[in-house]
Amino acid sequence: MSQKIRWGVLGGGGDSLIGVLHRVAASMFDAYALTGAVFNPDYEQNKAFAQEIGIPLDRIYPDFDAMVEAELALPVDQRIQVFSVLTPNFLHYPMAKKLMESGFHVICEKPMTMTHAEALDLQKIQADKGVLFALTHTYTGYPMIRQMKAMIAQGAIGSLQKVDAQYYQGWINPIIHDPDQRSTTWRLNPDKSGISCCMGDIGVHAYQMLEYVTGQKIESVLADLNHLYDDNQMDIDGTVLLRLGRHVKGVLRASQIATAEENNFSLAIYGREGALKWEQENPNYLTLLKDGQPAQTLKPGHGYNTAFSLDGTKLPPGHPEGIFDAMGNIYKGMAKAVRGQEYTEGEFPSMEDGVRGMKFIETAVASHAEGNVWKKL
């Protein structure tokens, strides 16, 4: 019998969208049992929310520290095995740190930490403790992203010569032009959000995905960031020039003032033998281009996809799955790892993705601050 994995949740209570996303994802393959939680820092609200979603109250704890202590006091076969950290960004680091030090596996929302130094600390702890760590860069869970990664690894487009990632949103546009809103929105406050808004929130997604699908490291960056009002200088837009290797260049564009864009994240990877293109808002289409041939459109669930991609599709072709399903695939991969089953590297983003992501953010900000100069990653 494959007993469900005992799963603890930190944050994600109330109206939290991220809470819904993780709970649904965890349920998708019948692998996790929500066993204990601190959904909310207020104990009463925490309990109320647990009741609202039908969770017994016996392992709903007053706070994080109490939870860790109590769980550690339980026999191993009753103890929570893996925690999801869905709290505000500044809590990711201390919580993940204590959890891993205590021997728990961790699923962590992005950004992994507030600084690169914190990220390196977590990396060291994970290595020391030998626990599992998944960073929920959700888009990696889309079947056609997995297919893209697998095809590039197999040489379908040959050696890389150009990469292009776009992540355009417009949600800050109505905020930034209003002095009140721009001074109160947490995402625009470096104390709450870290040193970067646009690069820290979405640029890092684009960065992670470029490295994820290509399997190559970005070596150096030159960033030009933008803000609209001098009374709030957090970046809300920016372009980053990329170098991946000798004669392999690229560009990463991100904006939160690309007016009225929703979540327009796209990738285009050009190699000597072909190209692969993908768009997050239509995630079930992967375009393959080859010199002198008709464009091909790959879709999930077909036998021509790799096993790695097919593992992420539940229904036959033509039944569109979406972002909940992408997150579900990440949870599925982590469940395999927790259970000691075989899994493919890339089923869930790792500590290294988090470390490199934090490094990217800091480096891009520094490149801009120093006058748009090249900086090594």
CB 169 within 8 A of CB 263: yes
Helix axes 17-27, 323-338, angle to 10 degrees: 60
Comparing CB distances to a second copy, the nearer of 72 and 315 is 315
Residues 87-126 interacting with a second copy (rule: CB under 8 A): none
344: contact with a second copy by CB under 8 A: no
340: contact with a second copy by CB under 8 A: no
Interface with a second copy (CB under 8 A), residue from 291, 307, 340, 342: 291
Q: What does the CA dihedral 289, 290, 296, 302 come to, rounded to 10 degrees?
A: -100
Residues 153-172 interacting with a second copy (rule: CB under 8 A): 157, 161-162, 164, 168-171
Q: How far is the CB of 132 from a second copy (least distance, A)?
A: 20
Comparing CB distances to a second copy, the nearer of 13 and 95 is 13
306: contact with a second copy by CB under 8 A: no
54: contact with a second copy by CB under 8 A: yes
DSSP output for 310-353: HTT--S-TTS---HHHHHHHHHHHHHHHHTT----TTSS--HHH
314: contact with a second copy by CB under 8 A: yes
Q: How far is the CB of 91 from a second copy (least distance, A)?
A: 22
Size of the site for a second copy (CB under 8 A): 93
- 3-class DSSP state of 68: helix
> Buried b / exposed e across 152-166, counting CB within 10 Å, b at 16+?
beeebbeebbbbbbb
Half-sphere exposure of 314 (CA within 13 A, CB side): 15
Interface with a second copy (CB under 8 A), residue from 317, 339, 341, 376: 317
CB 212 within 8 A of CB 349: yes
Q: What does the CA dihedral 147, 151, 156, 159 come to, rounded to 10 degrees?
A: 120
Residue with tokens 């721009």: 182
Q: Which stretch, 75-83, 185-193, 258-266, 343-351, contacts a second copy (CB under 8 A)?
A: 258-266
Q: Which stretch, 85-93, 121-129, 194-202, 294-302, contacts a second copy (CB under 8 A)?
A: 294-302
Interface with a second copy (CB under 8 A), residue from 8, 11, 12, 31: 31
Residues 171-200 interacting with a second copy (rule: CB under 8 A): 171, 173-174, 177
Phi, psi of 314 (to 5 degrees): -100, -30
17: contact with a second copy by CB under 8 A: yes
Residues 71-90 interacting with a second copy (rule: CB under 8 A): none
Q: How far is the CB of 157 from a second copy (least distance, A)?
A: 7
DSSP class of residue 163?
A: E
Q: How far is the CB of 134 from a second copy (least distance, A)?
A: 20
Comparing CB distances to a second copy, the nearer of 251 and 377 is 251
375: contact with a second copy by CB under 8 A: no
Structure tokens given for 4 = 């469900």
Q: Which stretch, 80-88, 189-197, 210-218, 223-231, contacts a second copy (CB under 8 A)?
A: 223-231
Q: How far apart are CA 168 and CA 237, in angstroms?
A: 9
28: contact with a second copy by CB under 8 A: yes
Interface with a second copy (CB under 8 A), residue from 156, 289, 310, 377: 289
H or E segment to which residue 273 belongs: none
- Short-list 23, 151, 202, 132, CA closest to 350: 132
Comparing CB distances to a second copy, the nearer of 46 and 113 is 46
Interface with a second copy (CB under 8 A), residue from 37, 202, 267, 298: 298
Comparing CB distances to a second copy, the nearer of 70 and 323 is 323
Residues with Cβ within 8 Å of 3's Cβ and at least 6 positions away in sequence, in order, are: none
273: contact with a second copy by CB under 8 A: yes
128: contact with a second copy by CB under 8 A: no
Q: How far apart are the first and last CA of the chain?
A: 46
